[in-house]
Amino acid sequence: MTKLTFVELKLLVREPGAMFSLLIPLFILVIFGSSIGPGDTMLLPMALAIAVGLVGLYMLPTTMATYRERGILRRLSSTPVRPASMLVVQLILQFVLAVVSCGLLVIFAGTVLGAHLPTRGPLIAVTFLLGTAAMFAIGLLIAALAPNGRAANGVGVLLYFPMAFLAGLMQPTDKMPVILARIGEYTPLGAFRQSMQDVWAGGAPDPLMLVVMAAYALVISIAAAKFFRWE
Amino acid sequence: MAVIEVTDLHKRYADLTVLDRVSFSVTEGEIFGILGPNGTGKTTAVECVEGLRRPDGGSIRVLGLDPVKDGRRLRERIGVQLQDTQLPENIKVWEALDLYASFYAKPRDWRELLEEWGLADKRTARFGKLSGGQKQRLFIALALVGSPTVAFLDELTTGLDPQARRATWELIKRVRASGVTVVLVSHFMDEVEELCDRVAVFDGGRVVAIDTPAGLVDGTDAEHHMRFTLMDGDLVELGDLPGVTGVSRNGNRVVVRGRGDFATAVTGRLARHHILVSDLRIDKRTLDDAFIALTGRSFGPTH
C-alpha cells in the first residue's frame, strides 16, 4: 500500500493534467489579483472553488476511468492486492492535490497579493472537507458511468462549465439573474464558494449550505458505489 | 500431479451459455494450451480458474484451493497476464516490477527478472515508450514476479510481428524450464502446436477434445496427400496398400491420397520395386485439420 501510494504519487506528478489543475486557479488569481483591494473576500474563495472543482471533476474521474479502461484495476484484482486499494490511494492523492492547490492559492494571496486571510481554521477545514467530498463524489460518479478515460474527461469538462457558471465562478453572483443565482447556491460548487466566502468575511457559513454539501457527498457517492464497475 | 482440476464448469450471462460442462486438468510442469476461436469461452474459463469470475456451477481446484473462497491465498501463488491490459503510460519499467513485487509475500528479485527478460536497458523507460514485444516481455515478467507455481498467459502474441512471436515462444519455453506450470490461452494453431504439451480444444463453450497436439492431429485421421515424380515411367500398384484411398497419375506426377501412416507403406513398396522418385512431398497434417475434423468447421476469419 505504501509503495502503491508512492508510485501513484510519482505518476500523478508526471501527469500534465495535475500541473494544469494547480496552475489554472493560480493563473486566475494572478490575473484578477491586481484589481482587488486588501479587504477582498470574493476572489480567493472563487479560486479555491475552481481548484477543488478541477481536481474533483477533471483529475479524479479521468484517472479512475482510464485505469479501468486500461485493465489496470482488473490486473490488480489478479494479485493479492485488492483493486479497492487503488481507489483509496487515488482518493488520498487527489485530496492531497486539492490541498496543495488550495494551499498554493492561499499562500500566494496572503503574501504577494496581501489579501485578507481568515483566522478561523476549523471552519475553513470543515467547509473545505465537505466541499471536496461533494466534488469528489461527483467525480467518482463520472468515473463509474463513463465507458473510458476520454469520455470521463469530456463529461468532467462539460459539467465543469455550467457548474462553475452557476457557482458564480465566472462572474459575481450579484451580476447574475436572481433565479440562476438562487439555483447556483444549491449546487455543490456554489454552496462551497458561498460557504468559503462567508468564512472569509469573518462569519460562519450558513449551516444549510454545509448540509447541502454533505447531502451531495453522501447521495452521489452512494450512487457512484452502486454503478461502479472494476472492469 | 494435477495443479488445476476443473470439473463441469458452467457459466451463463443472461440467456447466453458461455461455458457448458467444461472439464480439464493441468499437470505440474506442463504447458497446457486452451485453444479455440475467439468467443468460445476460453478466457472466461481461465478467469474462473484465476478467481476473477464466479462460475455458476461446477468445481475448480487450483493448487488444492478454491479460487472463490481462498482467492487471496491462491493469488499469492499464481501469476497472471491478462488479455487487453495495459499499464499507466508514465510508469517506468523498474517501477512496475518493483510495485508488483510489493504485492506478494515472497516475491522474486525483480532485478533478476529485468536481466532474464532482456529489459535491463529499458529499466527507466516509460511503459508508453516500449515496443509491443517489450511490453509483452514486461507483462510476462510481471506475471512471474510473485514467483508463482502456475502462470496464466492469455493471448500473449496477438498483435506481435512474426519475429517477436517466435522470440516470445522461446521465452515461454524458458518459463516451463524454470519449473513453472503454464496455462496458455491462444487462438493460434501454430503457437499451440509449437509450445503445448497438452491442449484443450474449446468450441462453443465446450471442450471438444483434450490431447497432445500430435495426438489431436493423429486422432483426426483426415485424408491427406503424398506427391512424387517418377524418374522413369513405370509405377506399381499402390491402391491396395493399407490406408491408401486413391491414386492418380498425370504424366510422371503421381498423387496418392490416404489416411493414417499410409506414406510409409507407399515408400516401402516403391523401394522394394526399385522405383526411383523425386520431389517426394507429404502434406503435413496440422492442428487446423484436427480442428475442422473435431468441430466440422474452420477457425473462421479471425485474422
Of the candidates B295, B223, B291, B300, which has an alpha carbon nearest to the alpha carbon of residue B33? B291
Distance CA A82, CA B216 (A): 40
Interface test with B, best of A12, A79, A86, A93 (most B CBs within 10 A): A79
Contacts of B102 in chain A (CB under 8 A): 3-4
pLDDT at B302: 45
Residue B63's CATH number:
3.40.50.300
pLDDT digits (tens, 9 = 90+) for B98-147: 999 999 999 999 999 999 888 999 999 999 999 988 998 999 999 999 99
Please tell me if residue B124 touches chain A, with a CB cutoff of 8 Å.
no
Question: Is the residue at B261 inside a domain?
Answer: yes
Residues B156 and B120 in one domain: yes
A72 contacts B88? CB cut-off 8 A: yes
**Chain B residues 220-259 with CB within 8 Å of chain A:** none
Contacts of B98 in chain A (CB under 8 A): 3, 7
pLDDT digits (tens, 9 = 90+) for A59-82: 999 999 999 999 999 999 999 998
Q: What is the CA radius of gyration of chain A?
A: 18
pLDDT at B190: 87
Of A67, A70, A79, the CB nearest to B103: A79
CB-based contact A76:A87 (threshold 8 Å): no
Residue B258's CATH number:
3.30.70.980
- Report CA B228 to chain centroid distance, whole Å: 33
B64 φ/ψ sector (left φ>0, alpha ψ -120 to 50, else beta): left
List, as one string, the DSSP characters of B80-104.
Answer: EE-TT----TT-BHHHHHHHHHTTS
Question: CB pairs below 8 Å between A and B: how many?
Answer: 56
Distance CA A47, CA B194 (A): 63
Interface test with A, best of B50, B53, B77, B82 (most A CBs within 10 A): B82
- Report CA B256 to chain centroid distance, whole Å: 32
Please tell me if residue B298 touches chain A, with a CB cutoff of 8 Å.
no
Q: C-alpha angle B235/B237/B243, rounded to 5°?
A: 120
Q: What is the CA radius of gyration of chain B?
A: 24
Q: A3: nearest CA in chain B?
A: B99
Residues B110 and B253 in one domain: no
Residues B122 and B135 in one domain: yes
CB-based contact A46:A168 (threshold 8 Å): yes
Question: Is the residue at B298 inside a domain?
Answer: no
Distance CA A91, CA A86 (A): 9
Residues 6+ apart with CB under 8 A from B170: none
Contacts of A81 in chain B (CB under 8 A): 103
Give me B178's grid cell.
524454470
Give me A48's grid cell.
479555491
A128 to chain B, minimum CA–CA distance in Å? 30
Chain A contacts to B (CB-CB under 8 A): 3-4, 7, 10-11, 14-15, 67, 70-72, 74-75, 77-81
Residues B54 and B69 in one domain: yes
Question: Is the residue at B295 inside a domain?
Answer: no
- Give the residue from B181, B198, B218 where a domain finishes: B218
- Give the residue from B218, B239, B257 where a domain finishes: B218
Distance CA B279, CA B178 (A): 42
Residues B210 and B233 in one domain: no
Distance CA B23, CA B25 (A): 7
Distance CA B145, CA B268 (A): 54
Residues B100 and B62 in one domain: yes
- The predicted complex's ipTM stands at 0.87
Distance CA A52, CA A55 (A): 5
pLDDT < 50 regions, chain A: none
Q: In angstroms, what CA-CA distances link B109 with A5, A229, B112, B146, B232?
A: 21, 33, 6, 9, 67
Going residue by residue through chain B, which has 303 residues, state the pLDDT in tens, using 9 for 90 and above. Answer: 789 999 999 999 888 889 999 999 999 999 999 998 888 899 999 999 999 999 999 999 999 999 999 998 999 999 999 888 899 999 999 999 999 999 999 999 999 999 988 899 999 999 999 998 899 899 999 999 999 999 999 988 887 888 888 888 998 999 999 999 999 999 888 899 899 999 999 998 999 999 998 888 877 767 788 999 998 877 888 888 888 989 999 888 999 998 878 888 899 999 998 888 888 888 877 777 778 778 777 765 443
A71 contacts B104? CB cut-off 8 A: no
Of A14, A74, A78, the CB nearest to B90: A14
Q: In angstroms, what CA-CA distances link A191 with A7, A102, A130?
A: 35, 17, 10
Q: Is the pTM of this model over 0.90?
A: no
Give me B206's grid cell.
465446450
Q: Which domain holds residue B275?
A: 223-284
3-state secondary structure of B282: strand
**Chain B residues 45-74 with CB within 8 Å of chain A:** 50-52, 72
For all residues of chain B together, what is the average pLDDT? 89
Contacts of B75 in chain A (CB under 8 A): 78-80
In degrees and rounded to multiples of 5, residue B118 shows phi and psi of: 65, 35
- Give the residue from B163, B186, B218 where a domain finishes: B218
pLDDT at B300: 55
In degrees and rounded to multiples of 5, residue A105 shows phi and psi of: -60, -45
pLDDT at A156: 92
Residues B134 and B214 in one domain: yes
Give me B53's grid cell.
469470475
Of A11, A15, A80, the CB nearest to B72: A80
Residues B104 and B201 in one domain: yes
Question: Is the residue at B302 inside a domain?
Answer: no
Q: C-alpha angle B119/B74/B28, rounded to 5°?
A: 75
Question: Is the residue at B301 inside a domain?
Answer: no
- Residue B89 CB coordination number (10 Å): 14
Interface test with A, best of B90, B94, B106, B127 (most A CBs within 10 A): B90
pLDDT at B103: 94
List, as one string, the DSSP characters of B12-38.
Answer: EETTEEEEEEEEEEEETT-EEEEE--T
